[in-house]
Amino acid sequence: MEPYSVLMSVYQKETPDYFYIAIQSMLNQTIPPDDIVMMCDGPLTPELDQVIAYFDRKHPGLFQIVRIPQNGGLGKALREGVLRCKHEIIARMDTDDIAVPTRVEHQMKHMLHDKRIGAVGGQIGEFTTLPAPSITGYRMVPLTAQQVRKRAATHNPMNHMTVLLRKSAVLDAGNYMDFPLFEDYHLWSRMLAKEYDLINIDEICVFARVDNMHQRRGGMDYFKQTAEMERHLIRCGLIGKLQYRKNLAVRFLGTVVISGKLRGLAYNHFLRSSKPSQTDETLLRKLHTAYHREYTDEGSHT
């Protein structure tokens, strides 16, 4: 298998034990990375710095720790991070989720099979740890390149925290940009405009923590940003003016008209499957328990 880099971005509001578990889940891949680019987006808390120092001591030479003096947002951090990655293949990972151990191995097979594939994503199981680790639902995304392109006209077709990226394709499309809340969707649309194929595998690649994001993302300011994203889709040739008007009507209803609670219910109904499998929940609990025990056993990481 080809070597790969891991790209993560952390900022001061992250939870240290979640951060530890996320890193450990990438270290425990069946094909482990030999390059982890850790973008520190602004000053961090002492506890987060302790986690980074612990892993850096334990794995000398593995981490590139890049400290950005002021928080500039995810798009800017990832843009610089991509440039710092040593390898052509880059695994994105969020700092509060849990990657399935076979994630990269299974995605890599698809990436190496076809050079026109710019990104390989996967499915996510959304979970909560209260009162015990359990899956609350899934965010399922389309599989084939044709299905992904079609889905991109109305919704984000990839789960960002699951993607394996081809660095040259990302750079060819202009790299990540500063486009708050839609940094990933913005990139996918530009990659599709460059005729790269984006696919997803039919497997849970990452367990993602539930944060009620879709209940919080609303209001006129959020709608204005979604409208700009829709205009970007037109510029990329993914939608026409009729689809643009339809999308805006749906976005206005979902972000401005209905309440946060109703928005969350709509998200659950239209974008998630709510029937967790016993196998997935067993794996989630096994990983969460193992990594959390490691974190507890390591203490303060000092």
The predicted-structure confidence for 128-183, as pLDDT tens digits, reads as follows 988 889 999 999 999 999 999 999 999 999 999 999 999 999 999 999 999 999 99
Averaged pLDDT of the chain: 90
Residue 237 DSSP code: T
Query: Which of the pair, 215 or 134, is modelled with greater confidence?
Result: 134
Q: What is the mean pLDDT of residues 248-260?
A: 69
Q: What is the mean pLDDT of residues 209-216?
A: 62
The residue with tokens 């009729």 is 242
Sorted by where each starts, the structural domains of the chain and their CATH numbers stand as: 4-298 (3.90.550.10)
- For the entire predicted model, the pTM comes to 0.91
Q: Using alpha carbons, list the distances in angstroms from residue 85 to 15, 19, 39, 66, 182.
A: 25, 20, 11, 11, 22
CA distance 152 to 187: 11
Burial of 87 by CB count in 10 Å (0-12 exposed, 13-18 middle, 19+ buried)? middle
The predicted-structure confidence for 73-119, as pLDDT tens digits, reads as follows 999 999 999 999 999 999 999 999 999 999 999 999 999 989 999 99
Given a cut of 50, whether residue 263 has pLDDT beyond it is no
CA distance 84 to 191: 20
CA distance 177 to 57: 32
Other CB atoms closer than 10 Å to residue 214's CB: what's the count? 18
49 Rama class: left (phi>0) / alpha (psi -120 to 50) / beta: alpha
